[in-house]
């Protein structure tokens, strides 16, 4: 991973967290985390950050705002790598 990509990832994560801290609408929170996670997982393997965002959706029940049956269905669609090999990380994060 290049230094430029690392800087982008850090800014992207900070921007997402700032948005989540200021956004009260759970549907908008879900949409932002969902889009961010899909892109982030494609480019990274930063398990603690991936687990944090997966846990955010789980803890707040945000997956409901995406029309998913439950959190497991959402995480398998949004972050299949994290879901298949990262459940340990989400559990550890919790």
**Residue 4 pLDDT > 50, yes or no?**
no
**3 — pLDDT class (breaks 50, 70, 90):** very low
Lowest mean pLDDT, pick from 29-38, 63-72, 77-86: 77-86
Q: Are 23 and 29 in contact (CB under 8 A)?
A: yes
Q: Are 74 and 54 in contact (CB under 8 A)?
A: no
Sequence-ordered list of residues with C-beta below 8 angstroms from that of 63, at least 6 positions apart, any chain: 30, 57, 70, 71, 73, 74, 75
pLDDT digits (tens, 9 = 90+) for 5-52: 445 566 777 788 888 889 889 999 999 889 888 887 777 767 778 888
Domain count, the chain: 1
Per-residue model confidence (pLDDT) at position 13? 77
Q: Which domain holds residue 75?
A: 3-93
**91 — pLDDT class (breaks 50, 70, 90):** low
């Amino acid at each position: 991973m290049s230094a430029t990509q690392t800087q982008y990832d850090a800014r992207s994560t900070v921007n997402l967290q700032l948005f989540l801290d200021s956004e009260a609408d759970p549907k908008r929170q879900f949409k932002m985390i969902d889009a961010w996670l899909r892109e982030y997982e494609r480019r990274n393997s930063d398990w603690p950050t991936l687990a944090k965002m997966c846990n955010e959706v789980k803890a707040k029940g945000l997956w409901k705002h995406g029309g998913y049956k439950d959190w497991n269905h959402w995480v398998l669609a949004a972050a299949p790598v994290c879901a298949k090999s990262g459940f340990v990380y989400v559990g550890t994060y919790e």
